[in-house]
């Protein structure tokens, strides 16, 4: 199954991307994630491993992840595995140029 969603955020790619790559910030907008921990950090981000605790309806589960693609201020992709699922998540940013008439 593939799920795609597009949203418009009125800010710079640098600001928005900082919320995607910093686990402390990501917890603030990913309401089901209660804890995240970097296990091994790589210099270029690809290959960085981490774990997250996800809570839903009073139940929690651990997801183990690895960064599989990274382009600063443009894209970050994770592969996550848990007891109940395997998922690949990709966040891509495009700067929308607004033309004033």
Average pLDDT over residues 64-85: 96
Q: Write the burial class of residue 10 (CB in 10 Å: 0-12 exposed, 13-18 middle, 19+ buried).
A: exposed
Mean pLDDT of the chain: 92
Q: Which long-range contacts (CB under 8 A, 24 or more apart) does 9-13 make?
A: 12/95, 13/73, 13/74, 13/93, 13/95
- At 3, is the pLDDT very low, low, confident or very high (cuts 50, 70, 90)? confident
Does the structure show a pLDDT above 90 at 101?
A: no
pLDDT in tens, 8-51: 898 999 999 999 999 888 889 998 999 999 999 999 999 999 99
Does the structure show a pLDDT above 90 at 1?
A: no
Does the structure show a pLDDT above 80 at 95?
A: yes
* Residues 91, 29: Cα–Cα separation, whole Å: 14
Average pLDDT over residues 73-80: 96
Q: CA 88, 10, 55, 33: dihedral to nearest 10 degrees?
A: 70
């Amino acid at each position: 199954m593939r799920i795609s969603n597009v949203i418009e955020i009125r800010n710079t790619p640098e600001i928005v991307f900082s919320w995607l790559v910093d686990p402390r910030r990501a917890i603030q907008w990913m309401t089901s994630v209660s804890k995240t921990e970097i296990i091994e950090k790589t210099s270029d981000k690809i290959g960085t491993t981490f774990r997250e605790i996800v809570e839903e309806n009073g139940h929690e589960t651990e997801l183990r992840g690895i960064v599989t693609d990274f382009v600063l201020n443009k894209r970050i992709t994770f592969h996550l595995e848990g007891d109940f699922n395997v998922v690949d998540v990709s966040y891509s940013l495009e700067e929308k140029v607004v033309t004033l008439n």
